[in-house]
């Protein structure tokens, strides 16, 4: 079951791959809970159940707005018969049409790179975000997380981002618009929200890692050679910080993958998760530092994610928390995330082969 510390919930899925939570139920339940408004920013929708929940909300009098990545709605080549409904991503187009026919405002992004957000603001008071795409594979095959925060301050931060998106500020067009990240306290736990590219999430992750005293654990989909994160891992390992984690197998074996620099390093233990049933992909973007600080959200550890794409991350917790209740709340959240990272490592993790010379 999901962990909940007052107004903060963390869900790990999918249940089909042995994780504790039903991600589809979580997302649909969140949408069904709307009474006034839903602002939805997501890469794609191919889940009929999620599309149905969005349409139900509109039918119930909720003000609904949606932003999607255009790449899943268009085709790369002109079709001989464009009136024929077939081809890759046709379900995305069908659900998009159904949402439009429900008198819901839908924008597709203006970013030539990737609109990679995955968040919903509900009634201006609650936020849902994480790594989960609103797709059948996202909620049933890919290892993903969903975070729900019931807090007007956090919802307001995402609300400002959503207004900028509606105004066409995407990717590099968003540069200079976001305010400096501010730490908000929710249920006694510090939370910092960052958006790429304005806030340089890569640097924030490296800064948080630099504060580690004992251990860094992670489950990451894409981890490319980086000017900060992989180097910071090496520095941490040399400082006797234990590093343990999981990478998606397909991504871990790319020529550009950071994993080749991290293999056979003292204090670093990384496994790959093969793309075979019941797992489609390891799609998390998760890190836990010293059982206190969680880094989560949509942000892949790559250059384009940092510089070009639209992304968001949450830093949940603080290294220096002195209040016993706050520290206990942080640790409870972090232990739940660590439990899933360890389960993935034990159940699905396999050695990463050495790269060819």
Question: How does pLDDT run across 194-212, given as a tens digit for each residue?
Answer: 988 778 889 999 999 999 9
User: Whole domain around residue 336: which residue ranges?
Assistant: 183-347
Domain co-membership, 187 together with 116: no
* 256/254 Cα distance (integer angstroms): 5
Does any domain span residue 142?
yes
Question: How does pLDDT run across 5-20, given as a tens digit for each residue?
Answer: 999 999 999 999 999 9
Please name which of 240, 246, 192 lies closest in space to residue 214, comparing C-alpha atoms: 240
Helix-then-strand count for the chain, H and E: 11, 16
pLDDT at site 199 = 82
Q: In CATH, what number is assigned to the domain containing residue 157?
A: 3.30.870.10
pLDDT at site 209 = 96
Domain co-membership, 207 together with 328: yes
Mean pLDDT computed over every residue of the chain: 89
Torsion sign over Cα 289, 291, 297, 298: positive
Number of domains in the chain: 2
* 282/300 Cα distance (integer angstroms): 12
pLDDT at site 325 = 87
Domain stops at, among 141, 166, 191: 166
Question: Tokens 């500020």 — which residue?
Answer: 169
pLDDT at site 155 = 98
Domain co-membership, 53 together with 119: yes
The Cβ-side half-sphere exposure at 275, using a 13 Å CA radius, reads: 11
pLDDT at site 200 = 84
pLDDT at site 241 = 98
Region 219-241 average pLDDT: 91
* 213/356 Cα distance (integer angstroms): 34
Q: What six digits make up the tokens of 344?
A: 């993935």
Q: For helices 48-59 and 90-100, what crossing angle results, to 10°?
A: 10
Higher pLDDT, 61 or 161: 61
Domain stops at, among 132, 166, 200: 166
The pairing of beta strand 63-68 with beta strand 37-42: parallel
Domain co-membership, 74 together with 149: yes
* 288/293 Cα distance (integer angstroms): 6
Domain stops at, among 122, 139, 166: 166
Confidence of residue 87 (pLDDT cuts 50, 70, 90): confident
Burial class (CB in 10 A: 0-12, 13-18, 19+), 305: buried
Domain co-membership, 62 together with 138: yes
Domain co-membership, 192 together with 161: no
Domain co-membership, 120 together with 265: no
Region 60-84 average pLDDT: 78
Domain co-membership, 304 together with 226: yes
- String of DSSP letters for 138-186: HHHTSBEEEEEEE-HHHHHHHHHHHHHHHTT--GGGGTTTSPPP-EEEE
* 87/263 Cα distance (integer angstroms): 40
Domain co-membership, 98 together with 144: yes
107-146 burial, b at 16+ Cβ within 10 Å, e below that, comes to ebbebebbbbbbbbbbbebbbbbbbbbbbbebbbbbbbbb
Confidence of residue 144 (pLDDT cuts 50, 70, 90): very high
Does any domain span residue 356?
no
What percent of the chain stands above pLDDT 70? Answer: 89
291 pLDDT exceeds 90?
A: yes
176 pLDDT exceeds 60?
A: no
Q: How many CB atoms lie within 10 A of CB 341?
A: 21
170 pLDDT exceeds 60?
A: no
Region 230-242 average pLDDT: 95
* 296/24 Cα distance (integer angstroms): 19
The answer, as to whether pTM is greater than 0.75, is yes
Q: Which of 73-82, 251-260, 320-329 has the lowest mean pLDDT?
A: 73-82
286 pLDDT exceeds 70?
A: yes
Question: How does pLDDT run across 301-353, given as a tens digit for each residue?
Answer: 877 666 666 788 999 999 987 788 888 999 999 999 999 999 999 999 999 98
């Amino acid at each position: 079951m999901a962990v909940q510390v007052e107004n903060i919930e963390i869900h790990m899925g999918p249940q089909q791959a042995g994780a504790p939570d039903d991600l589809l139920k979580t997302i649909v339940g969140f949408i069904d809970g709307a009474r006034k408004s839903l602002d939805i920013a997501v890469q794609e929708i191919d889940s009929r159940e999620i599309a149905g929940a969005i349409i139900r909300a509109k039918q119930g009098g909720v003000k609904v707005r949606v932003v999607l990545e255009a790449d899943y709605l268009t085709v790369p080549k002109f079709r001989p018969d464009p009136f024929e409904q077939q081809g890759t991503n046709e379900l995305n187009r069908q659900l998009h049409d159904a949402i439009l026919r429900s008198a819901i405002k839908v924008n597709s992004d203006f970013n030539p790179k990737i609109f990679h957000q995955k968040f919903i603001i509900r009634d201006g008071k609650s936020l849902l975000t994480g790594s989960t795409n609103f797709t059948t594979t996202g909620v049933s095959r890919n290892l993903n997380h969903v975070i729900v925060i019931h807090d007007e301050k956090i919802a307001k931060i995402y609300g400002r981002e959503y207004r900028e998106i509606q105004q066409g500020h995407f990717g590099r067009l968003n540069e200079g618009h976001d305010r400096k990240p501010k730490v908000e306290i929710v249920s006694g736990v510090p939370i910092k929200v960052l958006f790429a590219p304005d806030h340089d999430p890569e640097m924030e992750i490296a800064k948080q890692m630099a504060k580690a005293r004992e251990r860094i654990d992670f489950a990451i989909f894409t981890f490319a050679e980086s000017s900060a994160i992989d180097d910071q891992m090496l520095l941490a390992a040399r400082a006797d910080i234990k590093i343990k984690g999981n990478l998606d197998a397909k991504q871990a074996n790319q020529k550009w993958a950071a994993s080749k620099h991290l293999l056979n390093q003292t204090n670093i233990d990384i496994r790959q998760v093969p793309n075979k049933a019941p797992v489609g992909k390891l799609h998390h973007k998760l890190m836990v530092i010293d059982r206190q600080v969680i880094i989560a959200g949509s942000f892949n550890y790559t250059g384009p994610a940092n510089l070009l794409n639209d992304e968001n991350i949450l830093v949940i917790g603080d290294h220096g928390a002195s209040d016993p209740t706050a520290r206990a709340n942080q640790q409870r959240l972090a232990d739940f995330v660590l439990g899933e990272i360890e389960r993935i490592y034990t159940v699905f993790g396999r050695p990463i082969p050495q790269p060819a010379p």
